[in-house]
Amino acid sequence: MKNLKPQILNIMKNNLINGPKLSIAQKVIIGFIAVIWLVIVINTCSEKEVGEKIEVVKRFSAPEEITNTQEDIRRAEIEANGYWAYGQEYDRMTEETRYLAAVKSPELVYFDFPYQGGSELTMTIRKRGSVLDIYFKISNGQFLTNQMARIKFDDGKPFDVSLIEPADYSTGLIFIDYTSKVLARIKKSNIMIIELPFYQEGNRSFIFDVRKLKWEH
């Protein structure tokens, strides 16, 4: 197409300027041909520009590759550090630092009104001075107090622990006893399952991936 453009222009120039005088009909025909040629040229250029833009979008978007890369990074982080989140709080009154490690159960449980919509459970390990606590928080629900919970690690036998009501009587928070024993088992295990009692909902079980806990406190 590029090689034909100069030839067509020369032919049109010679016919219109140097050639014999043309009739009105001939001028109309030549003008019509010129218009068609211009439309073809414009369309050709537009297709090329559009093609170039499409290639640029393909090179820089690559959503599947970006998503796969993010998933690979997340998997690598989990493989290295597990699902635990860590934190610490400084108490100016006691001049003590509280150390925290928390992990969420990947499963939701579903309660009836007024706690419908799905609830998740978080387990937290807390060290305050010489005091070690392990407690559970439900995002939407109400624990039963003065009850027992059952815990199982990997393929081991389940065992019972007592549930302890928090000092502020929060119904969405519950502590367990035998914390040193439970913590020692967490450090050696991959999976932990706990069965907890809920008001008007009975016992519900939750699974935790407890691998890779980093706890030296």
Residue 40 and residue 125 in one domain = no
pLDDT for the residue numbered 127: 94
In sign, the C-alpha dihedral spanning 51, 56, 59, 65 is negative
Residue 111 and residue 51 in one domain = no
Residue 103 and residue 40 in one domain = no
In a domain, 9, yes or no: yes
Residue 197 and residue 94 in one domain = yes
In a domain, 158, yes or no: yes
Residue 47 and residue 115 in one domain = no
**CA separation for the pair 212, 10 (Å, rounded):** 79
What's the whole-number mean pLDDT along residues 102-128? 94
Number of domains in the chain: 2
What's the whole-number mean pLDDT along residues 128-154? 95
pLDDT for the residue numbered 142: 95
Residue 52 and residue 92 in one domain = no
Residue 47 and residue 118 in one domain = no
User: Mind listing the pLDDT tens digit for each residue in 36-87?
Assistant: 654 554 455 554 554 554 454 444 445 566 566 777 776 777 776 789 999 9
Least confident of 29-38, 46-55, 82-91, 127-136: 46-55
- pLDDT exceeds cutoff 80 at 97: yes
pLDDT for the residue numbered 73: 75
Neighbouring residues of 131: CB distance < 8 A, sequence distance ≥ 6: none
- Confidence grade of residue 177 (pLDDT, cut at 50, 70, 90): very high
pLDDT for the residue numbered 53: 43
Residue 46 and residue 103 in one domain = no
pLDDT for the residue numbered 30: 57
**CA separation for the pair 109, 120 (Å, rounded):** 7
pLDDT for the residue numbered 58: 47
The domain in which residue 168 lies consists of 82-209
In a domain, 57, yes or no: yes
What's the whole-number mean pLDDT along residues 4-19? 49
Q: At what angle do helices 24-61 and 4-13 cross, to 10 degrees?
A: 160
pLDDT for the residue numbered 95: 85
- This prediction's pTM: 0.65
- pLDDT exceeds cutoff 90 at 155: yes
In a domain, 67, yes or no: no
In a domain, 70, yes or no: no
In a domain, 125, yes or no: yes
Residue 18 and residue 97 in one domain = no
pLDDT for the residue numbered 56: 44
Residue 138 and residue 101 in one domain = yes
**CA separation for the pair 90, 164 (Å, rounded):** 25
In a domain, 31, yes or no: yes
Question: Between 27 and 202, whose confidence is greater?
Answer: 202
Least confident of 23-32, 103-112, 113-122, 191-200: 23-32
For β-strands 121-128 and 96-104, DSSP reports them as antiparallel
In a domain, 68, yes or no: no
Residue 190 and residue 142 in one domain = yes
Residue 171 and residue 88 in one domain = yes
